[in-house]
Structure formats: C-alpha cells, structure tokens
Amino acid sequence: MGMEMPEPRLDVSKHRLDELKECKGRLSRQIGEAKQSDSNADRLIDELKQVSDEIKQLQKLLKQQLNETRSAKKWAPGTIEKPPAIANKITSGAITVRSCADDDISAVEAYLAEHPAASVWHLPAVSRFIKDTCGHRARYFCAFDETHNLVGVLPLVQLNSRLFGNFLVAMPYFNYGGVLADNREVTLKLISHADQWRREVNASHLELRFCQDNALGLPQKTDKVVFWLPLPDNVDDLWDSFQPKVRAQIRRGQREMTELSIGGPELLDEFYRVFAVNMRDLGTPVYGKDFFANLLQALEGQAWLVVARINGRAVGCAFLTGYKGRMEIPWASTLRRYNHTSINMSMYWKVLEFAVQQGFDVFDFGRCSQDAGTYRFKQQWGAQPLKLYWDYVLPDGEKLPALNPDNPKFRLMIAVWQRLPVMLTNLLGPHIVKRLP
C-alpha cells in the first residue's frame, strides 16, 4: 500500500509557510547585523513585519484546511434505508397458506436468513418460547407457491384476558414481527388467513408490527419510533463521532462504574434484581425471571445479558439480541438512585463497543414515543429515528385499540403499582404483563 498523499492545496500551504519562516529567520539576522553596525534597519523591519503578518494568516489558513481535511475523513453515521417487508418478486402459480409444521422449520429459517426485513423475533423458536413460557396460543402461518417454495411467513399470537381483552398480535412483547412476503398477493393471503383465525377465536383485532408503510390500506398507528445507529469497523471512529457532551458523560460514568460483565444465564440473578426494581419504579408489571431464562435458551448464541456494577453491586442491566448484522437492546435498566453517576451512559458505551467488536453493522436502541425522554437519550448517540407502522385488521365500525400507558384508565393503576413492595410486584407482575402486548 502506497503512502497517502496530502491534499494539494494543503501541501502548497505548508511549502509556502516553510519559505516564509526561512525568510523571517534571514531578516531577523540581517536586522541584528544592521543594528550592530549602526546601519538603518527600517526597511528590513518593515519587511519582517509583512512576512510575520503573512505567516500568521497562512498559519490560520493551514489550521482551517487541516480541520476541513479531518472533518472530510471523519467517520459519521450514514442514513439507513428500511428493509422492505414485502418484496416485488414473481411467484409461481396459486398461493396456499397453512400452519408451519415441524418439517417446515428449516425452510422457514432459511427464508428468514435471506429476507432483508427478517428480525430475530420472526424465528419459529421465539413463537415456541411465547407459547411455552406464557401459555398463549400461537400459530405460524407459511405461504407456499405451487412448486412448494416458501414465499411468505406470518407468526401470530393470541392474547386473551378479562382485563385487557382478546386480540392477535404479530408479535407481542417485541418491536417487529409482521408479514414477510415475496409480494403483495402473498401478503394479502397471509393476512386473510390470520383474520380468519381472528374470527374463529372471536378476537377484537389483529395487530401487525411493521417497520415500514406497506400501503395495505389498513388502519395504522404511527406514534412509535425505533432508533438505529450504523456502526463503523472500529470503536475509535464511533467514539470520535459523538458530541463532546456525550463523551464527557461516558467518562463520568466510567469513573463510577467499577465493573461490567456481558454473558449469559450466570448473570440472570443480578440482571433481574435491577430490572425488577426499575420496572416497579416505572409503574410497569415485570416479566418473570423464567421469561428471560427461557428467552436466553431459545436464542442461544444470539442473546446476551449485561450487568454494570459499582463497588460490586449491580446497578445497571441490559438484554441484547443479535441477528443478521443488527444488535438490538430490547430491555435496559439502571437503579434510579444511581442516575447521577451517568452509569447508564458508560453501560451503553460498553454495549456499543461490544456490538462493534462482534462485527454488527447496526445497533437498534429500541422503541419509544416521539415526545418521551428516552427519545432524546437515544438520539444523542447519533442514531436515526425510524417510524414504526402498526397495521390493524378490525371488524367494520371498530376503532383502533387504546391499550397503552397513556390511556387515562391505566394511570391510577400505574400510580398504585409504583408504591407496591418489589417482592409483591415480582409476584404479581408476571401474571399481568404476559397479557399485555
């Protein structure tokens, strides 16, 4: 590899500066000699002043050129294009849809590996995890063409309770999970079969969680966003891309944080202690410990736990997943009484380091509302907000569901929950939260 050549105008500026410095030195000696011989040095002094002024101007210009060169070469996160959930491929003959059989699993996994919009939550292993851990009914619809090639999938889960209602979601608990298909015809076939199941179980609606607007003509919610950050090849470029304020907060957290571990089930107890307290403080029912234990097992090799400690005490935690070049952080928590330490900033930085070192191309900061404080937290890392499009299949005349914490009827419940002992919320929470999408 040859030596990298400097920018032409930068090279010229440096050459001229060297000439002027030599001239300044020569004039200074001549002025000294003139004074020693009592000769008039006024002309030389005027010439020296002119040279000195030109040196200052050139040094200023050179500094500006150097900054421009560094800025041009500095890595910065680029724009991310959303991968299409519905392709524009031609399929062969009539499309048939049926529930995925055990013999179809390998074909489904191969299809997901090739589909650009597939997420880890589309994996059949996740549907089995929800069914086995939460006790919900789940169906994994597969679409085939007449040559028996798989051309589309739709994982679907039924949530049914007296408190929150009866409905279908693709996929609950997670940000992604709508239809993946080779074309629009396949998509409509899959949705039609899903709606038929909705009617069979008398569910109020079907929710499809997309990351893009697929123009299906369905009612939508678009009030949530996710943040994706493109990752460079090395952590130094990522560090240099941050604003000075972000770097300062990370350094502050690093002074406080004495240890951070990234691993598996061996960290579950510490992870859950922090997570459960934080969920209680937020007024949100907590998943059971078995939820995370079983999810780690279902996603073996594609999921990690993170625990941040101060003086041996776990004060921060996170759950990570990795699939097809994208690392996602679906859950993260820190204990509120340690917020002043900026421990969350140093923990996120270590997680981003880990993502780069593992070779991921994108880091997914997860979901939030556009006016939430977490929106600004995620944005400060240089991540790009991507609007989520959640489509709904509803009976005629029905309104969009309003099952969210901002609904006034849940505010009192949240306020009461925040005052309950953690031991009690850990006991009650898993029975409630598994009914929430």
% of the chain with per-residue pLDDT over 70: 91
322 and 297 in a common domain: yes
pLDDT of the residue at 383: 95
Out of 176, 205, 222, a domain closes at 222
**Separation between Cα atoms, residue 300 and residue 293, nearest integer Å:** 10
Q: Are residues 213 and 252 in the same domain?
A: no
pLDDT of residue 168: 97
Q: Please check whether residues 206 and 328 belong to one and the same domain.
A: no
Return mean pLDDT, the chain. Answer: 89
Q: Read off the tokens for 227.
A: 């943040």
Boundary-marking domain end, from 175, 190, 222: 222
In this structure, the answer to whether residues 272 and 323 fall within a common structural domain is yes
Domain-embedded: residue 77: no
Domain contains 217: yes
Question: So what's the pLDDT on residue 407?
Answer: 58
Question: Does residue 17 fall inside a structural domain?
Answer: no
Do 330 and 421 lie in a common domain?
Answer: yes
For 304, the domain range is 225-387+404-433
- Measured CA to CA, the distance from residue 421 to residue 429 in angstroms comes to 12
* Inside any domain, residue 328: yes
> Is there a contact between 144 and 189 (Cβ–Cβ < 8 Å)?
no
Give the pLDDT band of residue 173 (cuts 50, 70, 90): very high
Residue 396, token pair as written in the block: 């005629």
pTM of structure = 0.81
**Quick check: is 319 in a domain?**
yes
Please tell me whether residues 273 and 410 are part of one structural domain: yes
Candidate ranges 55-64, 98-107, 277-286; pick with highest mean pLDDT: 98-107
Q: Is residue 171 reached through a cis peptide bond, with omega within 30 degrees of 0 on the bond before it? A: yes
Among the candidates 222, 238, 260, a domain finishes at 222
**Which CATH number fits the domain that encloses residue 124?**
3.40.630.30
Nearest to 282 by CA among 223, 317, 333, 329: 333
Shared domain check, 296 and 150: no
Domain count across the chain: 2
Q: What is the share, in percent, of the chain residues with pLDDT greater than 90? A: 65
In a domain, 9, yes or no: no
**Position 231 pLDDT exceeds 70:** yes
User: Which pLDDT score is estimated for 16?
Assistant: 79
Rounded CA-CA distance 229/384 in Å is 6
- 355 in the same domain as 305: yes
Longest dimension (CA), the chain: 112
Least confident of 4-8, 63-67, 129-133, 198-202: 4-8
Q: Which residues pair with 263 in a beta bridge?
A: 305
Regarding whether 274 and 373 lie in a shared domain, the answer is yes
19 or 392: which leads in pLDDT: 392
If asked whether residues 233 and 345 sit together in one domain, one would say yes
pLDDT reading at 176 higher than 80: yes
pLDDT at 28: 81
Residue 70, domain member (yes or no): no
Q: In this structure, are 358 and 408 located in the same domain?
A: yes
Question: Residue 4: what pLDDT?
Answer: 42
The answer to whether residue 294 sits within a structural domain is yes
Nearest Cα to Cα of residue 16 among 69, 58, 63: 58
- Give the tens place of pLDDT for each residue, 292-310: 999 999 999 999 999 999 9
Instruction: Report yes or no: 37 and 6 within 8 Å, Cβ to Cβ.
Output: no
Q: What is the pLDDT of residue 32?
A: 77
In whole angstroms, give the CA distance from residue 54 to residue 351.
50
* Residue range 72-94: mean pLDDT, rounded: 87
- CB contact at 8 A, 31 and 43: no
Q: Answer whether 205's CB lies under 8 Å from 168's CB.
A: yes
Residues 270 and 300 in one domain: yes
Give the per-residue pLDDT at 251. Answer: 96
Check residues 171 and 397 and name the one with the higher pLDDT.
171
Task: Report the amino acid identity of residue 133.
Answer: T
